[in-house]
A and B are shown apart, each in its own frame.
Chain A
Amino acid sequence: MASFRLLRLALPAVAVLALASTTVFTQSQPLLPSAPKLAFGGSISPAYDGWFDNADGTRTFLMGYYSRNWQDPIDIQVGANNHFEPGEPDRGQPTHFLPNRNFGMFTVTVPKGSTEKLWWVITARGVTQRVPLSTTPDYNITPQHASEESPGGKHNQPAFLRFAENGPKLQSPVDSQANAIARVAVVSVPMALDFWVDDDALYASGSNAPISDKEPIIEMVVNQYRGPGKVTVGDGHHTLTVLEGGTFGEPYSAKGSTTVTFSAPGEYQIHVTAVDLSGPGGGATGCCWTTGLFRVLVKPAAGGPPTGAR
C-alpha cells in the first residue's frame, strides 16, 4: 500500500499563519554568493523549467521557483512584487511560495507563432529576481514522456489523476487555471478531497539498479497555491488504498482521501499533485507528475463575520 505523505506539508501548514507575510521590504539587498539558505527571511528566484509544443500549435512554458527559505512559506500577492511583463501581470503564478526548490508549479501557454518574450518578476525580502520564458532548444522538455529509460528500455509516463471515481482523467504536469475544479467551503469546516490515481509504476535509476520496495509508487501532495488564510491539510486518514498492482512495473491504481481546512474566508487555490517514482519535479528532468487545481470559495462560518469584515 502506498502512503500518503503529509510530513513535508505539516510544518509549513502549521507555521503559515504565524509567519506568512505580504510585507514588502523596499530596501534593496545584495544576494551574496553561497549565502546559506535561511529558515525564514530569504528571497525567491523564479525558475524557468522548460518549454514544449502542443498539438494545436500553441507553446507551453513550465515554471517553478527557488525559495531561499528551508522552513517557511512566503505569501506575495500578484502585483508589483509578483508579476509577468510585458502585458498581463497575472499568468496563474502562485502567491503562496513553499520552501526550497519547487519544479514545474504552473504553466503559461502562448498562441501559435507568438514571439513576445515574457518575464516573471518576483521581489521578496528586498531582492528582485526575474527570468525570461525562453525558447532556446536546450530547454525543450517532454513532460508526458520520461527522458530517462527505465529498466527494460521502457519510458515512464505521468500518473492519471481523477477527483471523482468516474470523473475525467488528468495527465499533465499542471492542469490549466481554466480547468480548475470549483468548490465551496466554510471556514474551519474540513472540505473532503477524494482522488483516484492510475500509474505505470515505472522508475528510472542511473545504474538500472532496483530501488527500495519501501518507495511509494505514488505520493499525493496537497498544497496551498493561493489564498488569504492558513490552509491545513489532513484529518488523520492519510493513506492510499491500492485497488490494483502494487509492485514496480505493473499497472497500479489506488484511491485516497484527505481534508482541507481554511482559516479565513476568501478565494483559494489548492494544488493536488500525484508524484510518481520519478520524484518531485521528476528529479528536475520535467516528467512525470500530474497536478490538478481546485478553486475554492471559502465562506464565513455560520454566525461569523462576512468576508472582508473585521
Chain B
Amino acid sequence: MTGLMPRLGMAALAAVGLLSAPGAATAAPPERALTFSKDIAPIFQAKCQSCHEPGSIAPMSLVTFREARPWAKSIKARVATRQMPPWHIDRSVGVQKFKNDMSLTDEQIDTIVAWVDQGAPEGNPADFTAKPVAQGLYWQGQRDGYGPPDLVITAPMQTMPAVHQDEWWRPMQDIPITEPRWVKMVEIRPANIAGRKILHHSIAYHVLNPDNTAAVNTGIGFGGRNISLSGNANTPTAAELVNRRPQLMEWAIGKGYDHYMEGTGKLIMPGEKISWDQHIHAAGEEITSASEIGLWLYPKGQEPTKRSYLVGFTGLKNGTAGLDIPPNSIAYTEGFNVLKENTLITNFQPHFHLRGKAMQVEAILPDGRTEVVSYVSDFNFNWMTNYIYEDDAAPVFPKGTLIHVTAYYDNTKANKSNPDPDQWVGYGDRTVDEMAHAWMNVVYLSDTEYADLVAKRKAQKTPTTTARER
C-alpha cells in the first residue's frame, strides 16, 4: 500500500540520486571547518526541526548528530535542489515577499553542502544546544508566533481500513460562538499524529447564517464552463447564496494556515456550522482520525472592514471533461478566470494530485500587459505549501483582469509520486485522478480604494520581482 508517509520516506531515500540535479546550488563552500554542533544544528533547529523531530510529520528526526549523520548525503541533495524545506516557489519570477517563508538562504545551503563535503563531522558536543522537542501535535501558526488558536473545532473520529478506496467523510458541527466574530487566521490539521498518514485534504465549508450571505464570493467568473468551485458568475437568490457554503478553509497535505491580510478576515455568526469534506486515502494500516480547525479571532473592537474570500482559480478552461493526460507523457492545461472587481490577491497555493508538476498564475491586464503572479516549478504532492504574500507585496489588479492559470503534469516514471505512469489520467476526486486549481485568498476594492492603493504603492515604489522583471 502506498500511503502518504511512505511516499515521503521513499522520496527521502531516493534523494541520493539527485545529487547532480539541475538547479543545485553551486556557490563555493566556506573554507573554514564546519561542524554539526556549531554550524548545522542552529540551521536545522530554525528551518527543519519542526518537521524533523520525533513524532512529527517527517520520516526521520534531524534533532541530534546521531540522528542526522546517516542522512547527510540525502540532506545535501534535498537542500541543494531546494526540495527541502518544502518551499518550491520559483525565486526568479513573481511575488517574492512572504509572511511564512521557510526556505533556506543561499548561505545556509552553502553551509550545509560544505559540511557534508567535509565529511559531516559532529565537532565539539559542547557547542550543541538542544532546542526543545514539541510533543505530539502542534499548530503551525503557534510555532510561527501567533499563539494558540482562540477556537478549536474537532470533527468526529472515523476509521479508514488499511486497503480501501479513497473516502470522503462529511460530518457537520456547530461553530460554538454566541456573538459575531471576525477570523484573522485559520489552520486545519489532522486530529492526531496517525491522521497525517491518511488525510489528503480537508475543507471546512461554512454553513451560513442567512444574515451572513456576504461571505459568498461573487467576484470571480470563469472562462469556459463553470465548475463547482467557489465563484459562480450567476446572480443567485439569498437562499441560493446560503446554500453556496463557502470554504472557511481548504487544507491539503503539507499546508499550514491561511493568514488574511491585515484589516481583512471572515465573519462567523451564531448558529452557523462547519460542514467537513475530508478526503481520506488508505495508508496500508487501519487508522482512526479526523480533522480539526483552529480559528484565530480579531479582538473585539478591532473588527476588519473587508472580507477575504477563498477562490479556486481553475486551470481547466474546458472544464473537467477536458483534462487529458496520456500515459508516460508531460501534459499541460490552462484556465482563464475573470476578475469582476478590483482585486488584491494575498496568497498562492497550487493544488494537484499525484501527477502535478508545476503551476503558473499570470495576470492578463485589461490593456493586454501580462504579469506573472507566482510560479511553482517543482510541485510536490506531499507539500501543498501555501505561499502567503506580505501585505505590501500582495498584487492588486483592476476589474476586467484575467487570471490565467497554467498547470503542468508529469505522468512519467520520473515523477516519484506517480503510482503508475502507464495509466491514462483524467479529472476526478480520487488521489489517482487529477485536478488543477490555484487556491488564492482575495480582497475586493472599490474603484476609489483601488486608485488610492495604486497611488500609494507608486509613491512608495514598492519593489516586486514582477516589477523588476518588467
Contacts and interface: CB of A to CB of B under 8 A. Distances in A.
Interface string A32-66: 01101100000001111010000000000000001
Given A138-B419, A209-B243, A131 B424 contact: yes
Contacts of B172: 208
Given A134-B420, A136-B420, A210-B243, A34 B333 contact: yes
A77 interface: no
A3 B326 CA distance: 36
A149 interface: yes
Interface string A124-146: 00000111101011111110000
Contact of B424 (A36, A46, A153): A46
Nearest to A210: B243
A230 to B, nearest CB: 25
Nearest to B278: A149
Interface stretch (B63-71, B76-84, B123-131, B158-166): B158-166
Interface stretch (A233-241, A246-254, A278-286): A278-286
A131 B329 CA distance: 13
Given A149-B169, A284-B433, A207 B331 contact: no
B306 interface: no
Given A131-B327, A149-B169, A206 B419 contact: no
A68 interface: yes
Interface string B73-100: 0000000000000000000000000000
Interface residues of B, number: 48
Nearest to A286: B165
B76 to A, nearest CB: 31
A14 interface: no
B428 A31 contact: no
B420 A132 contact: yes
B427 A284 contact: yes
Contacts of B429: 283-285
A204 interface: yes
Contacts of B167: 147-149
A48 B245 CA distance: 34
Given A31-B326, A34-B332, A207-B275, A283 B424 contact: no
Contact of B170 (A31, A132, A208): A208
A100 interface: yes
Contacts of B228: 206
A137 B163 contact: yes
Contacts of B426: 47, 66, 101, 284
B277 A206 contact: yes
A140 B170 CA distance: 21
B134 to A, nearest CB: 32
Interface in A138-185: 138-142, 147-149, 151, 153
B324 interface: yes
B414 interface: no
Interface string A250-276: 000000000000000000000000000
Contacts of B170: 148-149, 151, 153, 204, 206, 208
Contacts of B333: 34
Interface string B421-434: 01110111111110
A132 B423 contact: yes
Contacts of B9: none
Interface string B144-181: 00000000000000000001111111111000000000
B329 A206 contact: no
Given A138-B431, A140-B165, A284-B426, A68 B324 contact: yes
B384 to A, nearest CB: 17
Nearest to B247: A207
Contacts of B164: 140, 142
A70 B419 CA distance: 29
A141 B165 contact: yes
A66 B424 contact: yes
B321 interface: yes
A48 B332 CA distance: 21
Nearest to B162: A137
A48 B433 contact: no
The CB with the most chain A CB atoms within 10 A, among B2, B170, B243, B334, is that of B170
The CB with the most chain A CB atoms within 10 A, among B165, B207, B333, is that of B165
A153 B171 contact: yes
B280 to A, nearest CB: 9
A46 to B, nearest CB: 7
B166 A100 contact: no
A252 to B, nearest CB: 22
A206 B227 CA distance: 13
Contact of B334 (A34, A136, A206, A208): A34
Given A34-B334, A138-B432, A131 B423 contact: yes
A149 B235 CA distance: 29
B57 interface: no
A282 B91 CA distance: 41
B431 A45 contact: no
A133 B445 CA distance: 52
A170 B430 CA distance: 26
A289 to B, nearest CB: 15
Interface string A51-91: 00000000000000010100000000000000000000000
Contacts of A148: 167-168, 170
B270 interface: no
Given A68-B324, A134-B423, A136-B2, A33 B431 contact: no
Nearest to B424: A45
A130 B424 CA distance: 8
Contacts of A142: 164-165
A137 B160 CA distance: 14
Interface in B1-60: 1-2
Given A34-B333, A132-B422, A147-B168, A66 B282 contact: no
16 contacts: A31-B326, A37-B318, A66-B424, A101-B426, A129-B327, A132-B422, A134-B423, A136-B2, A206-B170, A210-B243, A283-B428, A284-B428, A284-B429, A285-B429, A285-B430, A286-B165
Given A130-B327, A131-B424, 19 more contacts: A33-B329, A33-B332, A34-B333, A47-B426, A48-B423, A100-B321, A101-B427, A130-B422, A134-B422, A137-B1, A141-B165, A148-B167, A149-B167, A149-B170, A208-B172, A283-B428, A283-B429, A284-B428, A284-B433
Interface of A: 31, 33-34, 36-37, 45-48, 50, 66, 68, 100-101, 129-132, 134, 136-142, 147-149, 151, 153, 204, 206-210, 283-286
Interface of B: 1-2, 163-172, 203, 205, 207, 228, 243-245, 275, 277, 282, 284, 318, 321-322, 324, 326-327, 329-334, 419-420, 422-424, 426-433
